[in-house]
Amino acid sequence: MSSVHSILRLGVDVGGTNTDAVLLDLSEGSRRGQVLASAKHLTTADVTLGIQNAIESVLTQTQNKSNIQALCIGTTHFVNALVERDPRRLDRVAVIRLCGPFTHGTPPFVGFPHELRDLLEGPHFLLSGGLQIDGSEIASVVVAQVESACDEINRQGIHAVVVSSVFAPIDFEIQQEETVAAIVRKRIQGMDVVCSKDVAAIGLLERENASILNAALLRYAKKTVIGFEKAAQALELKCSVFITSNDGTLLSCAQAARLPIRTFSSGPTNSMRGAAFLAALESGISKQSALVVDIGGTTTDIGMLLPSGFPRQAAAHHEFCGVLLNFSMPHVTSIGLGGGSIVREDPVTHKVTVGPNSVGHRITSESLVFGGSTLTATDVVVAAGRASNIGDESLVSGIGQSIIEGAQSAIKKMLQNYLDAMKTSSQDIPVYLVGGGSILAPDVLAGISRVHRFPHFDVANAVGAAIAQISGIIDSFEDTSTRTIVQVRADVEARAIARAIASGADPHRVAIVESEVIPIAYTTGRCRFYVKAAGDWSGVTSPSWPEVGDTLRVEASTGETACRPQMVASAAASAAVAPVMHTASDILEYEPRIKRREWLLSEVDLEWIADGCYVLGCGGGGSPLHTFLELRELVRSGETVRVIDFSSVTSNGLVGWGGSMGSPEVSSERLLGSESIAKPEALCGLEIGGANGMINMILGSTKYANIPCLDGDFMGRAYPTWHQTTANVYDVSGTGAKMLPSTMSSGDGNVMIMTKAKRDIDVDASLRAACVEMGTHVGLASRPLKADYVDNAMIKNTVSLSWRIGRAIALARKQSSLSRIGSILVDAVGGSNSARVLFMGKITDVGRRLYKGHTIGEVIITALTVDDDIDDDDPDRPMERFTGTLTIPFKNENLYAEHTADDAITTMVATVPDLISVLDAQNGSALGTPQYKYGLRVLVLGITAAPQWTGSERGITLGGPSAFGFTHIPYKPLGKYTQPRSVIEEYARNS
């Protein structure tokens, strides 16, 4: 084949230490995949200069630039701007949210850390608009409202606006966001406008957060990509310039200028894609799932490569710079292991540890093998005879054999643990090693079928940039009531392929690389579909984004981002900052504020209560995150949230109780509205587990009803149905008389009252059916109860219990004693008589399905071997060791825990109504059943249920195993119940 017909790609990837570049031959035939030239240059403070240097080095090794089809760049420009909080590169952002009466308690920026909020927050407007989950309007857009918001935005000198609408990702017909964006652009000439649906998927706050970060970067992004184009021109490259995205596909400069956030974490993606490409060049290696291990100087990134050649994506929600986001990101685990990792030997135990501290880029001056004085992982590898071409081997000849073996064992153990956690099943799979530090990895690893090192592994990241493809993504809710899921999926996949082709993919080489159907709780006839199609670039330049025009090019080329307008802080952002728990001493010394027997909740209290509520949710109840954020915003703005002991309620007082009901998918989008009830003397939680454990605190705050909340609830945990409450346990009528009448509100004008039922179980069934018709998420309040009835039925001091659990988790994290989190929690909830660690291990199997609105399934946890165990065990206080497996079936919440010994003998260790909670053993956080996945190291905590459940046959019938169809399993108490100590009682003496 003549060189005239060669197809060459220039790939560049910016890393923390080095910027790598390769020239890759992508011609058809035997030459495909040849690395014609490569270069490695130090990453410079001016990232563009480092990119230009690397490209120049590659170009000096090639004869003909004219065959270069494209320059593909993986850059850290935009991530760095946010990480460094650089005001010269970031703009303040205004937000127009279309939400009708919903979401007002959780305004834009509510989850941002203080320093980033102060830097980016502009005015926000909560306007008429938004959709329901079925695609109908919550309310129509009101043009006059939008125009008024535009006038204020213009007055404040804001340059970027985010338009976010409830359920925008499914708005294909009404197009509320697009309508408002057009109004803004017409009203304010030259305004940068970001529609949230273009940035991320379902999950209002997370999508809006991502859109805000994206909007803050827009002006800097335009300047940066123009700089890339100019650099290419200066190097006499006449090819198209692309930026690589975080899902392994390409963005044109115009697209990158519009969506810079999509470049976040593109480096690990490029490494994984490059590894897949290099693997495909090796004979005998077919497309398969594999783990990619990228070992650098300081850290190791581990990701899962799918058979499609694309990385597995992270969970729906992830954090960046302290901000919760939900846009597409590769699932990558980073650990403190690299060539520069410092090796230490404990002088007492002689235990050898590796990292996480590292000499980093100073390895050539500080490592022993290069004449320095610091023992590093590289020194150990050279001393072991596995890398004789590095440094001076004689300088490490004095390293003792015990240190060499101990360090190699520590490295192997660390890699095996994290590799196993990234797998999706127990099946052995291969590992592809890339990065200059991959010499650290052993040739044999448990659970790994084979360890591969391919040619050019050290520049796999730049290879991945060079071979990035064009994609088309569809993420939407679809009607499945009249057609099969298979038929609907085929249509959605065809739309994704069409979108990829329209973006520039070769029609003959595009394929579906990801296709998922996600059922929606409590909803029939609708499913969420996520489909991604990808293919090689066709070579035809797609139309430029119209907003990157000549006028913006002139503005962007004049230098740094224009001067920022003077900051005008919001009331919430300017409120007094809560005490920060920097150390364990801070936590131990903290005392809640008690005034006249009322507990006035602080931000710290709310955070600990939220963590505790999720633990008490026993896998269900939904995350309290959004409720916590709304409460924290209330406290920051000067409102008061009060908790009282039952003793403060008058003898003839009425206690209101209720909560929310509905689909988690809806509650993540259509956040709380103005559901309300008549004013009683106090409020009591329906369930302390999950989001409902805190929801009444919002209504009870001084902003709304100004009613204190009782330190107690009617479940002591979470249960999946409304009739499974202790208020109903004490109602011997069996007709739900103490629950009725119940009032249900959609929050936007629809109210339903249920007054009578034949059986108590019919109450939940009827209300849940109505809930679907009212938008699949409602506020619900049952009849107020008299104080004497509440005195018997309410489980007391459960808010205090959640606070103590959250405090214990925070303390374990600060004391670096997560290996002790089990015993710390047992102590926090009353001691070994009432609670115990049921099991510790890793999840090895999980299955789930949706049935009548509930998530049903089971999780299997296998005990860790000594080699697998988490490496922070204290020899003076050894952890309890477990063997065998533990099986936990769940229906929204965990139902029972059955242990199977190595000799196959089974033992029931706990059942409902006792609490069974699964926690992430590596950070102490509670796990909801949707978060169960293979490889997670977990701890299972059992807590004895309150006597309101266990003290009567009716309580066991309503809340025990038989209530879930397990009539063959008798209830046996886990221990003896200990009433939680009241926070008010403990700390009132100091007030």
Q: Do 770 and 796 form a contact (C-beta atoms < 8 A)?
A: no
Q: What is the DSSP string of 330-377?
A: B-EEEES--TTEEEEE-TTT--EEEEEEE-GGGHHHHBGGGT-SB-BH
Q: Do 781 and 739 form a contact (C-beta atoms < 8 A)?
A: no
What is the 3-state secondary structure of 428-450?
Answer: CEEEEEECHHHHHCCCCCCCEEE
DSSP bridge pairs for 37: 23
How confident is the model at residue 554, as a pLDDT?
Answer: 32
- Give the residue-averaged pLDDT of 958-985: 95
SS3 state at 8: strand
Among 223-227, 330-334, 726-730, 943-947, whose mean pLDDT is lowest?
330-334
Given a cut of 80, is residue 45 above it in pLDDT? Answer: no
Given a cut of 70, is residue 4 above it in pLDDT? Answer: no
Q: Do 468 and 249 form a contact (C-beta atoms < 8 A)?
A: yes
Model confidence at 249, pLDDT cuts 50, 70, 90, reads confident
List phi, psi (to 5°) of 903: -95, 15
Cα 656 from Cα 323, distance rounded (Å): 35
Given a cut of 90, is residue 819 above it in pLDDT? Answer: no
Cα 104 from Cα 923, distance rounded (Å): 32
**Residues 6+ away with beta carbon under 8 Å from 655:** 649, 680, 681, 682, 683, 684, 710, 784, 785, 786, 787, 790, 794
- Tokens 């959605």 appear where? 492
SS3 state at 21: strand
pTM: 0.79
How confident is the model at residue 611, as a pLDDT?
Answer: 95
Tokens at 860, concatenated: 């299997």
List phi, psi (to 5°) of 599: -90, 115
Q: State percent of the chain over pLDDT 90.
A: 48
Q: Shortest CA distance to 77 belongs to which of 243, 282, 273?
A: 243
Tokens at 807, concatenated: 């405090």
Q: Give start and end residues of each alpha helix (H) in 36-175.
A: 47-59, 77-83, 114-120, 143-155
Given a cut of 80, is residue 873 above it in pLDDT? Answer: no
Cα 412 from Cα 76, distance rounded (Å): 30
Length of the chain: 991
Q: What is the DSSP string of 115-150?
A: HHHHHHEEEEEEES--B-TTS-BSS---HHHHHHHH
**In this structure, are strands 448-453 and 429-434 parallel, antiparallel, or unpaired?**
parallel
**What is the per-residue burial (b if ≥16 Cβ within 10 Å, else e) of 57-71?**
ebbeeeeeeebbbbb
Q: Shortest CA distance to 116 belongs to which of 94, 91, 95, 97?
A: 91
Q: What is the pLDDT of residues 64-92, one digit of tens each?
A: 788 888 899 988 788 888 888 888 899 99
**Residues 6+ away with beta carbon under 8 Å from 589:** none
Cα dihedral sign, 464-465-467-469: positive
Model confidence at 330, pLDDT cuts 50, 70, 90, reads confident
Q: What is the mean pLDDT of the chain?
A: 86
Given a cut of 70, is residue 567 above it in pLDDT? Answer: no
Higher pLDDT, 935 or 87: 87
How confident is the model at residue 438, as a pLDDT?
Answer: 85
Cα 205 from Cα 200, distance rounded (Å): 11
Q: State percent of the chain over pLDDT 70.
A: 89
How confident is the model at residue 666, as a pLDDT?
Answer: 63
How confident is the model at residue 298, as a pLDDT?
Answer: 80
Residue at 949: amino acid letter? W
- Give the residue-averaged pLDDT of 772-791: 88
**Residues 6+ away with beta carbon under 8 Å from 258:** 198, 218, 221, 545, 547, 548
DSSP bridge pairs for 851: 854
How confident is the model at residue 477, as a pLDDT?
Answer: 78
The DSSP letter of residue 736 is -
How confident is the model at residue 83, as a pLDDT?
Answer: 81
What is the 3-state secondary structure of 903-945?
Answer: CCCEEEEEECCCEEEEEECCCCCECCHHHCCCCCEEEEEEECC
Answer whether the bond into residue 708 is a cis peptide, omega within 30°: no
Q: Do 721 and 772 form a contact (C-beta atoms < 8 A)?
A: no
Q: What is the pLDDT of residues 138-171, one digit of tens each?
A: 999 999 999 999 999 999 999 999 999 999 988 8
SS3 state at 589: helix
User: What distance, in Å, lies between the first and last C-alpha atoms of the chain?
Assistant: 86
List phi, psi (to 5°) of 98: -100, 105
Cα 826 from Cα 803, distance rounded (Å): 14
Could you give the maximum distance between any two Cα atoms of the chain, in Å?
A: 95
- Give the residue-averaged pLDDT of 747-759: 88
Q: What is the DSSP string of 177-207?
A: HHHHHHHHHHHSTT-EEEEGGGT--S-HHHH
| CA 365 to mean position of chain CA atoms | 39
- Give the residue-averaged pLDDT of 948-971: 95
Model confidence at 18, pLDDT cuts 50, 70, 90, reads confident
What is the 3-state secondary structure of 865-878?
Answer: CCCCCCCCCCCCCC
Model confidence at 286, pLDDT cuts 50, 70, 90, reads low
Q: Shortest CA distance to 126 belongs to which of 159, 162, 96?
A: 96
Q: Do 19 and 43 form a contact (C-beta atoms < 8 A)?
A: yes
Sort 990 into a burial class: Cβ within 10 Å, 0-12 / 13-18 / 19+.
Answer: exposed
User: Using DSSP, how many helices (H) and how many strands (E) does the chain show?
Assistant: 29, 40
Q: Do 867 and 446 form a contact (C-beta atoms < 8 A)?
A: yes
Model confidence at 574, pLDDT cuts 50, 70, 90, reads very low
Cα 149 from Cα 162, distance rounded (Å): 12
Q: What is the pLDDT of residues 679-693, one digit of tens each?
A: 789 999 999 999 899
**Residues 6+ away with beta carbon under 8 Å from 453:** 433, 438
Model confidence at 5, pLDDT cuts 50, 70, 90, reads low
How confident is the model at residue 851, as a pLDDT?
Answer: 54
Within 13 Å of residue 233, how many CA atoms lie on the same side as its CB? 6
Long-range contacts of 62-65 (CB under 8 A, 24+ apart): 62/8, 62/23, 62/36, 62/37, 64/3, 65/236, 65/237, 65/238
Cα 662 from Cα 772, distance rounded (Å): 8
Q: What is the pLDDT of residues 878-932, one digit of tens each?
A: 567 899 999 999 988 999 999 999 999 999 999 999 999 999 887 888 998 888 8
Residue at 561: amino acid letter? T
Cα 252 from Cα 703, distance rounded (Å): 48
User: 266: alpha, beta or left, given left = phi > 0 and alpha = psi -120 to 50?
Assistant: alpha
The DSSP letter of residue 469 is B
Sort 238 into a burial class: Cβ within 10 Å, 0-12 / 13-18 / 19+.
Answer: exposed
Model confidence at 948, pLDDT cuts 50, 70, 90, reads very high
